[in-house]
Structure 1
């Protein structure tokens, strides 16, 4: 499988969330060889979308001549598009949002009704693509935190999507937390292997991965400096 990983964290490889993503990819590689390309979005020249819609009328040609042309080409050549990013203000970090906005050339101005909503008809064939979102946050749990990002991802990619959201993710960059983070990464690795083999992740396994690693109040106390580690 050809996998394009879009790392939306400004921390690049030091991203808390990338610990989760790397474990997932390791699991996939256990099941079968994978062709993985990781792109740090922060390092790419991506201009902001101006909303001119020229790309939707002229066969996908954007007014900006930047790195998005190459990235969109790689998107269409991939089998799995994996968005890996930390939760910023309940959504994507700004550089990744700029990337998402600039995917407009993939669709045309023409619309069609799909269920209860209208969508733009594609200018390119990306029916073969699968989509994954791996997102971590620094809150003690997932309640009323990930919902906006999850809904946005589902609306962007209504088909063939898989979503992993993990609270307490800064612990993955804390060596002293290895006692709880390493078992969690092993579960993520198991999920990656399962996904590579079946195209899905067992619901119970996904629920366990997305649950807090330590009691919520203990994590909050550590973050607040009330408990020294």
Structure 2
């Protein structure tokens, strides 16, 4: 399988969330070898979409001549896209959002009704693609934090998507927290194996992964520097 990981963290390789993503990939590779490429959004020259719609009306050609043309080719050549990013203002970091918006050339201006909503008709064939969202946040709880990012991902990729959200993710970059982070990474590796085998992750396993690693109050005290 060709897997394209789009790392949306401005921290690049030091991303808290990339610890989760690497564990997921390790689990997938235990089942079968995968060809993996990682793109770090902040390292790429990606101009902002101007909403001119030239790409949607003119055969997929964007007015900007930057790194996005090659990224679109990488996307279409992949089997699985993993969007790995930390939660910024309840959504994507700006470099990743700019990349997502510049995928507009994959669609036409014309619309079709799918279920109870309208979608743009594809200008390129990306029906073979599957999508995984892996998102970490610095808050101690999942509820009332990830919902906006999850809804956006579900709207952008309504089919063949899997979503993993992990609170307390800064702990993955803290060696002293290994006693609680390693068991969580093992669960994520298990999720990677399940996904490689079946294309899904069991609800019970996802519930374990998305739960706090330590009690919420204890985590908040550590972050606030108020632990005795």
**TM class, shorter-length:** over 0.9
1:171 is aligned to: 171
Deviations 1:77-126 (A, max 9, x none): 00001000000000000000000100000000000111111110000000
2:207 is aligned to: 207
Unaligned stretches of 5+ residues in structure 2: none
Q: Secondary structure at the match of 1:113?
A: strand
1:30 positional shift: 0.3
Q: How far apart, in 1, do the equivalents of 2:142 and 2:23 lie?
A: 20
Q: Secondary structure at the match of 1:124?
A: coil
Q: Secondary structure at the match of 1:108?
A: strand
1:217 is aligned to: 217
1:96 is aligned to: 96
Deviations 1:180-224 (A, max 9, x none): 000000000010011001111011001100100000000001011
Q: Does 1:123 align with 2:117?
A: no
Q: How far apart, in 2, do the equivalents of 1:173 and 1:102 lie?
A: 31
Moved more, 114-123 or 130-139: 114-123
Q: Does 1:106 align with 2:106?
A: yes
The total of aligned residue pairs comes to 228
2:60 is aligned to: 60
TM (norm. structure 1) is: 0.99
RMSD: 0.6
Q: Which runs of 4+ in 1 moved over 4 A?
A: none
1:158 is aligned to: 158
Q: How far apart, in 2, do the equivalents of 1:110 and 1:217 lie?
A: 50
1:160 positional shift: 0.2
Q: How far apart, in 1, do the equivalents of 2:73 and 2:39 lie?
A: 13
1:19 positional shift: 0.2
Unaligned stretches of 5+ residues in structure 1: none
